[in-house]
Structure 1
Amino acid sequence: MRYMNNRSPQSGGRHAVSLTAHVASTACEATSVSSLTEPGGTGLLRLSGEFDQDAAPQVREALSTVRAVGARRTIVDLSGVVFADSSLLHVLLSAREEHALVLAGPLHSQLQRLFELTGTAGLFTFAEDPEAARLLPPPSPGEGVPG
């Protein structure tokens, strides 16, 4: 496995961090995690590919980086995730303690099923896409869908 971490400040007050993990597998599916902190304190993580125990630590690292640069809300774009196991779910559940987390889709059917089968869907705030997530009031850390 090879990891690349490219950090570069961008204009307009944005801080970009790009973490890409290339996992050798039979399908040769690339896994990538990129993050951006927007003005106003919103962090955006974009995930794509397959997330298992080998790739999930990259998500944890990106979440820590977004938090360290002062994001008050974190949107995790899961629309590019084609496979995830309990490793990614564990990282997202743990992140709820420190992040006002919004998960954005649309979700691949396998990922949606993971949330449903584990009974964890109600623990998160979901949005149709990152733009819709930006329009939601930020949840408090640890808060899921308002009941």
Structure 2
Amino acid sequence: MSPLNITPDETPAGPALHVAGELDYASSATLSLRTEALHLSPGQRLVIDLSGVTFCDSAGITALLAARQHAQAAGAAMVLEAVPTHLIRIFTLTGLDQVFTFRPDDAA
């Protein structure tokens, strides 16, 4: 078991969160609380870096969808960055690859 670790950062475009560990039923509320607490402005971009996520279940996906909804409600965009292959597969199988915006790494 790998505990969830969320590291905040600021970019010129807006806030960023680096997420590492297991994003599951036991930890997804932590991500939800962190994203809900972010003050986003119209035109900003919330970046969630998933490069360190080792496992994600439906509760983790729900937390990511809630983060997207929070960003949209503020008039901001949300990008999932450096998404591991095992998560891309889940997003593709569930059709969420059509919902989320992906970016390969922080160089974009």
TM range (shorter): 0.7 to 0.9
**Larger Cα-atom Rg:** 1
- Aligned-residue identity in percent: 30
Which of 84, 87, 90 aligns to 1:111? It is 87
Residue 35 of structure 2 contacts residue 70 of structure 2 at CA under 8 Å; is this kept in 1? no
The residue aligned with 2:4 is 31
Residue 31 of structure 1 contacts residue 49 of structure 1 at CA under 8 Å; is this kept in 2? yes
Identify unmatched segments of 5+ residues in structure 1: 1-27, 133-147
> What is the DSSP-based 3-state SS (H/G/I as helix, E as strand, rest coil) of the residue aligned with 1:67?
coil
Matches for 1:132-147 after TM superposition, within 5 Å: 132=108
- Greater relative contact order structure (CA < 8 Å, 6+ sep): 2
Structure 1 residue 67 displacement after superposition = 2.5
Residue 36 of structure 2 contacts residue 70 of structure 2 at CA under 8 Å; is this kept in 1? no
* Mapped partners of 1:33, 1:91: distance in 2: 13
How many matched pairs? 102
Identify unmatched segments of 5+ residues in structure 2: 72-76
Q: TM-score, normalised by structure 2?
A: 0.82
Q: CA RMSD in A?
A: 1.8
Which of 10, 13, 16 aligns to 1:44? It is 16
Is 2:96 the counterpart of 1:128? Answer: no
Structure 1 residue 130 displacement after superposition = 2.2
* Mapped partners of 2:105, 2:13: distance in 1: 18
> What is the DSSP-based 3-state SS (H/G/I as helix, E as strand, rest coil) of the residue aligned with 1:93?
helix
Residue 8 of structure 2 contacts residue 16 of structure 2 at CA under 8 Å; is this kept in 1? yes
* Mapped partners of 2:9, 2:84: distance in 1: 23
Q: TM-score, normalised by structure 1?
A: 0.62
* Mapped partners of 1:97, 1:29: distance in 2: 27
Which of 98, 101, 110 aligns to 2:78? It is 101
Distance 1:66 1:41, change over 3 A: farther
Is 2:55 the counterpart of 1:83? Answer: yes
Post-superposition Cα deviations, 1:48-88, rounded to whole Å, max 9, x if no partner, equal 011111111111111122236x5821000001111101111
